[in-house]
Amino acid sequence: MVVGVGEKTKVGLLFGGPSPEHKISIESARMIFYSLKTDHNREKYDVYPFYISEAGYFNQFNQMRYASPGIPPEKNATQRMIPPALFQMNLIFPVMHGKFGEDATIQGFLSALQLDYVGSGVLASALSMDKISMKALLASRGFPIPRFKAILRGESPNWKTIVDSLQFPLFIKPANSGSSIGVTKVKDISGLEPAYTEALKWMDRVIVEEGVPCRELECGVLGDTDPMVSPVGEVAYGGEFYDYATKYGTGNTGSRLIIPADIPSEVIRKVQQMSLEIFKLFHARDMARIDFFYVERTGELLVNEINTVPGFTKSSMYPKLWEKAGILNWDLSDRLIRLALNRKK
Cα–Cα distance, 9 to 335 (Å, whole number): 13
Domains of the chain, by residue range, sit at 9-118, 128-143+213-308, 148-210
pLDDT of residue 67: 56
pLDDT at 79 over 70: no
Say what the pLDDT of residue 244 is: 53
For 84-113, how does the pLDDT look when each residue is reduced to its tens digit (9 = 90+)?
999 999 999 999 998 888 999 999 999 999
The pLDDT, as a whole number, for residue 245 is 52
- Pick from 116-130, 167-181, 271-285, 324-338: least confident: 167-181
Where does 67-194 show beta strands of DSSP type E?
91-95, 148-151, 170-174, 184-186
Provide the 3-class DSSP secondary structure of residue 140.
Answer: helix
pLDDT at 20: 84
CB 287 within 8 A of CB 308: yes
Instruction: Give pLDDT, residue 72.
Output: 47
**CATH topology agreement for domains 9-118 and 128-143+213-308:** no
**Phi, psi values for residue 129, rounded to 5°:** -75, -35
Per-residue pLDDT tens over the stretch 10-20: 999 999 988 88
Mean pLDDT, rounded, for 13-40: 92
Displacement of CA 330 from its chain's centroid (Å): 20
* Arch. (CATH architecture) of 9-118: 3-Layer(aba) Sandwich (3.40)
CB-CB contact of 25 with 14 (8 Å): no
For 105-162, write each residue's pLDDT tens digit.
999 999 999 999 999 999 999 999 999 999 999 999 999 999 999 998 888 888 999 9
The closest of 256, 313, 229, 285 to 35, measured between CA atoms, is 313
The CATH code of domain 128-143+213-308 reads: 3.30.470.20
pLDDT at 270 over 90: yes
Q: What percent of the chain stands above pLDDT 90?
A: 68
**Buried b / exposed e along 259-288 (16+ C-beta atoms within 10 A):** bebebeeebbebbbebbbebbebbebbbbb
Whole-number percent of the chain with pLDDT over 70: 87
pLDDT at 5: 62
Among residues 302, 306, 292, the alpha carbon closest in space to that of 145 is found at: 302
Question: Is 80 exceeded by the pLDDT of residue 246?
Answer: no
Q: Reply yes or no on whether the pLDDT at 177 is more than 90.
A: no
Mean pLDDT of the chain: 89
Q: Which of 47-51, 238-242, 248-252, 328-332 is least confident?
A: 248-252
Tens digit of each residue's pLDDT (9 = 90 or more) over 37-49: 999 999 999 999 9
What kind of fold does domain 148-210 have according to CATH?
Answer: Dna Ligase; domain 1 (3.30.1490)
Residues 327 and 325: their CA atoms lie apart, in Å, by: 6
Per the rule left: phi > 0, alpha: psi between -120 and 50, beta: everything else, 224 is alpha
Least confident stretch, 27-41, 171-185, 259-273: 171-185
* Residue 313: exposure state from Cβ atoms within 10 A (0-12, 13-18, ≥19): buried
pLDDT category, 241, cuts 50, 70, 90?
Answer: low
Q: Indicate whether 253 pLDDT > 70.
A: no
Average pLDDT in the 250-259 region?
A: 73
Taking 70 as the threshold, does the pLDDT of residue 251 lie above it?
A: no
